[in-house]
Amino acid sequence: MSSDTGRLGGPLNSIADGYNDRFGQVFGELNGLQFALIIGSLLVLLLVPVWAPLLGMSGLLRTLALASIWAILAMGWDIQSGYTGYISFGHAVLSGGAAYTTALLIGNVNPDLSLAVTLPLSVLAALTIGLVIAVPSLRLKGPYFSLVTFVAGLIFYQLTYAFSDYTGGELGVRVGRIDFTVGGFEITTFDPVMRYYVMLVPMLLIAVTLLYVARSNVGMIFVAIRENETAVSAAGIDTTKFKIWSFVLSSIPMGIGGWLLAHFYGTVNPLNFLLVDRSIELIAMAVVGGMSSILGPIGGAFLVIVLREEVLRIFGATGRWVMLWTLILLVLVFARDGLFRKLWHYLGRLGSRDGGEN
Amino acid sequence: MSLFRLDGLTKRFGGLVAVDDLSFEVDRGEIVGLIGPNGSGKSTVFNCTMGRYKVSDGSIHFDGSEITDYRTHEVVENGLSRVSQESNPITEMPVAANIKLFTLPNSVLAFRGGATDEEIYQYAARIDLEDKLEEMPDELPHADIRRLEIAKALATEPEMLLLDEPFAGMNQQEINDLVDKFEELREEGITMIVVDHNMGGLMKLADRIVVIHNGSKIAEGSPEEIAENEAVKRAYLGSTEAM
């Protein structure tokens, strides 16, 4: 094993160094093994339509498309809650708000509205809801802040029933699929392969953007707020402004994710979008992967969704949820820092030992 | 005109008057000692100045502007910085990053910027911490943690430093070294108010001493005058501490 990684480590490390020279300052430095993990995962994800059918697992296209959307939501939660330590238990309100904006526009205004209208308005709705929650509640600390976000989630859930003339109550509103043309090429999410890329590409772009933010001064200030808010104001930094900024940076991906999820299911209903379980699920994904790392929540989202949609189906419709939450509980107890953070640090140690030998 | 001025500063906590109609001024380049027995209101004066407590009455002026109602970060942006009594480094970040945090621009769009490695080294070197930049705060001995607090304050490029019990927990050698460092900072043009509950470190350092007791000023003068002052002796006699 060690001789294998030793032989591999050399060339991998030199490729990784090329990356480090160019991008290390911006996205953080990697060793050869970490670099291989990133590039390997990226290739696996980009080539799903090639390898999944060969392995007789075409159903994975749907599962991984869904996982991509949840990865967006988990990252969106992470840049706000994971980084600043102001833990939100109501983040599904942001994605749900975006999804319902699309639903109300398509259901009540014009069923043929293009995404050029619904997407920006949905993101704007998520942003507005985010600011309405953030501005008054961010002066609250600890459990009070979390409770406010939680209760906001309950209110939004009930609103969908209170205004069922517009929202369709429990049944929800049909929003259909995404159709658009790029350079004369027609893209439709009726096609499972195209749908997969329509979900995957935004996820990757959001990941790169949020990694850039997280590894910048802004991310450093967020972490410092989590660790010691008084020290941050003593540094001449307006913590209120930065906490609101974290909500802005979170609301935009939450809005995009909510919009994608609306079109993934084709129907927007309270159960899939606003039930408090959804808020807890995206926290669970971020924590299972390793919160305040951006990459961790992506891994967490893919792990949780693949378990829920593929592996745990053997336990039946309800049993899979019991098993899933039990597994999440075990991770919380035995690997609180997150599975992907543990893997990352393991590769970090392994890689640096190789570096020492060479 | 003075650089810093307290005008009838009053801070009440419910029925308790922690600072009572306190006025004094500090000139540019001066080092003023603010002493008083424990609980006399010294730290409350700093907390009011830094915008951590809301002032009940009176005003605070710094460098020509009234800063009474400024929030902490605005006070710091105006050129005042405090070295608190309690050390609060961010334990997840090494010494260098702890210093860098204090140089970051207060702008949500400033993704890059702040001090370069060389500048961070310089801030650390001003207080003899340049060999510890890679270490984590919880690996540092007490005196170095205190130095880190000073380096952080210096990194905000202050015109005036508020030093809250800077000599607490230090041995005589460390106190002497620190006194020399403060002298050097004064040479570089930094004005200082140093809070302490006894005169020890201040005799050599301070140009002038303000003594407060139960929130009110009871004496003001040169260190020699204060050492002979009867009211000051009585105030300290009433408490269990020695001057």
Q: What average pLDDT does the segment B215-223 reach?
A: 93
Total count of domains within chain B: 2
- With cut-offs at 50, 70 and 90, classify the pLDDT of residue B197: confident
Which residues of chain B neighbour A237 with C-beta distances below 8 Å?
A: 73, 101, 104, 106
Which of residues B118, B134, B157 is at a domain's end? B157
- On whether both B169 and B151 belong to a single domain, the answer is no
Which of B125, B157, B189 terminates a domain? The answer is: B157
- Using the beta-carbon criterion (under 8 Å), do A237 and B71 form an inter-chain contact? no
H or E stretch at B145: helix B142-155
Q: In whole angstroms, what separates CA A267 from the centre of its chain?
A: 21
In a domain, B86, yes or no: no
The answer to whether A139 contacts chain B (CB < 8 Å) is: no
> Quick one: B57 and B1 in the same domain?
yes
Question: What CATH number is attached to the domain comprising B189?
Answer: 3.40.50.300
Candidate from B52, B76, B110 with C-beta closest to A235: B76
Residue B84 in any domain: the answer is no
Domain membership flag for residue B22? yes
In a domain, B71, yes or no: yes
pLDDT band at residue B17 under the 50/70/90 scheme? very high
- On whether both B38 and B57 belong to a single domain, the answer is yes
Same domain, B167 and B67: yes
B20 & B125 share domain: no
Tens digits of per-residue pLDDT, A200-238? 999 999 999 999 999 999 999 999 999 999 999 999 999
Chain A contact set for B100 (CB, 8 A): 220
Same domain, B112 and B208: no
* Residue numbers in A near B90 (CB within 8 A): 223-224, 227-228, 231
Residue A8 or residue A244, greater confidence: A244
Is the four-CA dihedral A208, A211, A213, A215 of positive or negative sign?
negative
The partner residue sitting opposite A237, judged by closest CB among B73, B97, B113, is: B73
Q: Dump pLDDT digits (tens) for A149-171.
A: 999 999 999 999 999 999 999 99
Select from B157, B174, B209 the last residue of a domain. Answer: B157
pLDDT at A356: 41
Same domain, B42 and B103: no
- Contact call for B104 and A227, based on CB within 8 A: no
CA distances to A61, A102, A116, A122, B126 from A112, in Å: 27, 11, 11, 16, 66
Nearest to A157 by CA among A112, A239, A92: A92
In a domain, B85, yes or no: no
Q: For residue A109, count CB atoms less than 10 angstroms from its CB and return exposed for 0-12, middle for 13-18, buried for 19 or more.
A: exposed
Confidence of residue A357 (pLDDT cuts 50, 70, 90): very low
Claim to verify: residue B71 and residue B173 sit in the same structural domain: yes
| Tokens read off for A278 | 């959804």
Residues B134 and B196 in one domain: no
Task: Work out the pLDDT band at A303, boundaries 50, 70, 90.
Answer: very high
Residues B58, B109, single domain; the answer is: no
pLDDT in tens, A319-340: 999 999 999 999 999 999 999 9
Mean residue pLDDT across chain A: 92
Spatial contact of B194 and B202, defined as CB atoms under 8 Å apart: yes
- Interchain CB distance below 8 Å, A228 and B106: no
Whether B151 shows a pLDDT value over 70: the answer reads yes
Compute the nearest-CA separation of B36 from chain A (Å).
25
Mutation to test the B interface, candidates A27, A210, A216, A238, most B Cβ within 10 Å? A238
Enumerate the residues of chain B whose CB falls inside 8 A of the CB of residue A217.
104-105, 110-114
Q: Is the dihedral of CA A72, A73, A74, A76 positive or negative?
A: positive
Least confident of A39-43, A283-287, A293-297, B230-234: B230-234
> What are φ and ψ of residue B194, in 5° steps?
-115, 120
Q: What SS3 string covers chain A? A: CHHHHHHHHHHHHHHHHHHHHHHHHHHCCCCHHHHHHHHHHHHHHHCHHHHHHHCCCCCHHHHHHHHHHHHHHHHHHHHHHHHHCCCCCCCHHHHHHHHHHHHHHHHHHCCCCCHHHHHHHHHHHHHHHHHHHHHHHCCCCHHHHHHHHHHHHHHHHHHHHHCHHHHCCCCCEECCCCEEEECCEEEECCCHHHHHHHHHHHHHHHHHHHHHHHCCHHHHHHHHHHHCHHHHHHCCCCHHHHHHHHHHHHHHHHHHHHHHHHHHHCEECHHHHCCHHHHHHHHHHHHHHCCCCCHHHHHHHHHHHHHHHCHHHHHHHHHHHHHHHHHHHHHHHHCCCCHHHHHHHHHHHHHHHHHHHC
- State which residues form the domain around B72: 1-79+162-223+232-243
- Local structure of residue B225 (DSSP, 8 states): H
pTM, two decimals, is: 0.91
Find the closest chain B residue to A227 by CA distance: B90
- Minimal-distance CA residue of chain B relative to A233: B73
Task: Kindly state whether residues B101 and B57 are assigned to the same domain.
Answer: no
Asked whether residue B136 falls in the same domain as residue B206, the answer is no
